[in-house]
Structure 1
Amino acid sequence: MDHQVVEVPVSALSVVGSPRTSGADPEHVEALAAMGEEFPPIIVHRATMQVIDGVHRLEVAKLQGRRTIAAKFFEGAPEDAFVLAVQSNAVHGLPLSLADRKRAAERIIRTHPQWSARRLAATVGVSPGTVAEIRRKMFGDPGEGDVRVGRDGKVRPINGAEGRRIATELIVEKPELSLRQIARAAGVSPETVRSLRNRLRRAESPAGAEPGWPGGTAPDGQSGPVDLAAGRGRRQDRAAVVQRLKADPALRLSVTGRDLLRLLNIHMIRTDEWESLIESVPPHCRGAVAQLARGCAEIWAEFATQVDGRIASTA
């Protein structure tokens, strides 16, 4: 973007294509005009003269009868200009409505299909789950080999299980490779590779989760429906481990240790209790509950990765 400030004729500017589909808010325009102060320059797409950021400031200029307004020019492509418009409205000024943000997400999905849900969500101001749902309605479920570009600019596979499978194969076939080399080739994080390598050393399942456990993966490492009945024996094994941990003075005699034990114990409910919980979720809450459950699973997965990292560093 050109940082030089220039005076642009008000009559030459357009607000067509703005993410704010309802146009400027009259009350907000009047409130800005009443402030009686100088505002920052608006941002204009040079090729189309469309206002990227500053629709309300433009309306204030018109209300005050001004012929020109201070502006900075953006030189990029129209689709990138729209992204900048959405980002600008997300950080200051009158926020976009939820409907406008969802429409913006749909438009950016079409122009930037390679962006990850988290990157797009951070840009638009909605949740990653909302972005994923919009994308599914537009294009259906992603293909096995599809990838996304995250907020950090790195390319990762959409199917995390596929990335872990590739990393596991590389760990076995080329043990001389570094964590970062394997992570780069598989599209996963170095910490994920470290966790997989540690699990392989302990002869555990590389997938890091067991069938029958909510948020787990199928035996072949591919994501699939959770078979709650199949996990009954494993649940009993886990419950036995939790009971042993409860007897450990290092945990039960400290506040944080007792907090950890309580969190672990919450998940030790019976298979029929999980089924009862699933059935009790009202239809209108299912999306929110599923999104929260996935978020909790991600937190526990990251917790496990960090604990595995401590084990490796101690060893």
Structure 2
Amino acid sequence: MRSTQSRADLYAVEEVEISSLSVGGSPRLAGESLEHVETLIASETELPPIIVHRPTMRVIDGMHRLLAMKRLGHRKIAVRFFEGSEDEAFVLAVKSNIAHGLPLSLADRKHAAARVVASHPEWSDRMIASVTGISAKTVAEIRKSANAEPPDGGGRIGKDGRVRAADVTERRRVAQELIIKDPGLSLRQVARAAGISPETVRDVRKRLRRGEDPLPQGRAKGAAGGQDADGRPARRTGIAEQPTPGSGSPPPPAVVVERLKADPALRFNENGRDLLRLLNIHALRTEDWSKIIDSVPPHCIEIVAHLARDCSKKWLEFASLVERNAMDPDFGPAGRP
């Protein structure tokens, strides 16, 4: 799926009369910042081309640059034209204004997300979050308030451009049948056939081995399954929910880590203390994780997400090695990959 930004970048720069441009429909609720305009004027550097929606001649990206050029007495300005629809033009305006220049305020981004949810209900929460610079959790709340779902109950389009069902309950059942019928199928083969992610297939397979239902406990029939439209585990409140104390579920991670801290086998050696420190860092409450998610600035989202996934891969590998040590005492450092 080619992005709207790349489509605008395909066009050559043209000189256009400033008087021919329209300036309505900005995603900035409070309008442009005169202080930022003065900053651009004082910089005395050549400003990059603005982006204009050709069918309407409306400025999509570059209102501050346009105002600066007007103040400097220029009659023309460098423009790249965008040929898409009005809805696509708005998406590009929002995406451009969180990527560079004066960032949109949180209120601007939430308002923009509500409009994008309405115009693109088939986009996943993470897809819209990547465009508007807010968290996927916040987008989910906006979607719920607006009651905006894909037409005809269809799937959602993830950031990778793939369509996945918003409700994967039945797809987990399909994966179950495929695994039972042919245990030799790989995770990816089952994932492709069932329309879910390999990680969800892995979870189904583990549940079958334990003699459990392929659906997570407590999830009603017909509720959203174990992955969202971006192929990641579904999330109700942000990071994985903590068990309720006294419900018979395992205690929260923070409680478990506190117990481990009292274990002499870990406390009285350097490697054990390193492990406790790492576990303690990740034993945050759901509310704390949500606050951290919402504090990630838009320009750092992709970097932070990449690092987080890299850390998760290392933890998964660590968990597998620890479990293998428990099952096979002879499996030591020499036998590890």
Q: Normalising by structure 1, report the TM-score.
A: 0.71
1:196 to 190, 194, 204: 204
1:155 to 163, 171, 174: 163
Assess if the C-alpha contact under 8 Å between 2:54 and 2:83 holds in 1.
Answer: yes
Residue 101 of structure 1: aligned partner: 109
Residue 194 of structure 1 and its aligned partner are, at CA, apart by 2.5
- Output the CA distance in 2 between the equivalents of 1:199 and 1:290: 27
Which of 118-127 and 221-230 deviates more?
A: 221-230
Q: What is the root-mean-square deviation in Å for CA atoms of aligned residues?
A: 4.5
Structure 1 residues 205 and 111, CA gap change in structure 2 (3 angstroms)? same
Per-residue CA deviations over 1:106-152 (Å, capped at 9, x if unaligned) read: 11111111111111112101111211111111117899965321111
Q: Secondary structure of 2:12's partner?
A: coil
2:190 to 182, 201, 216: 182
Assess if the C-alpha contact under 8 Å between 2:122 and 2:149 holds in 1.
Answer: no
Counting matched residue pairs gives 285
Per-residue CA deviations over 1:21-69 (Å, capped at 9, x if unaligned) read: 3332212112211222210111111111111111011111111221110
Q: Which amino acid aligns with 1:83?
A: V
Assess if the C-alpha contact under 8 Å between 1:251 and 1:257 holds in 2.
Answer: no
Structure 1 segments unaligned to the other structure (5+ residues): 212-216, 268-276, 278-286
Residue 87 of structure 1 and its aligned partner are, at CA, apart by 0.7
Q: Which amino acid aligns with 2:23?
A: V
Q: Secondary structure of 2:74's partner?
A: coil
- Output the CA distance in 2 between the equivalents of 1:40 and 1:3: 14
Assess if the C-alpha contact under 8 Å between 1:33 and 1:60 holds in 2.
Answer: yes
Residue 99 of structure 1 and its aligned partner are, at CA, apart by 1.9
Residue 276 of structure 2: aligned partner: 258
Residue 303 of structure 1 and its aligned partner are, at CA, apart by 8.4
Residue 125 of structure 1: aligned partner: 133
* Percent of paired sites with the same residue: 43
2:66 to 58, 64, 78: 58
Structure 2 segments unaligned to the other structure (5+ residues): 1-7, 225-235, 295-307, 325-335
Residue 75 of structure 2: aligned partner: 67
Q: Normalising by structure 2, report the TM-score.
A: 0.67
Structure 1 residues 243 and 97, CA gap change in structure 2 (3 angstroms)? closer
Per-residue CA deviations over 1:160-213 (Å, capped at 9, x if unaligned) read: 655544433332244343322322343432133224324423445544x5x5xx
Assess if the C-alpha contact under 8 Å between 1:246 and 1:261 holds in 2.
Answer: no
Task: State whether structure 2 residue 118 is matched by structure 1 residue 110.
Answer: yes
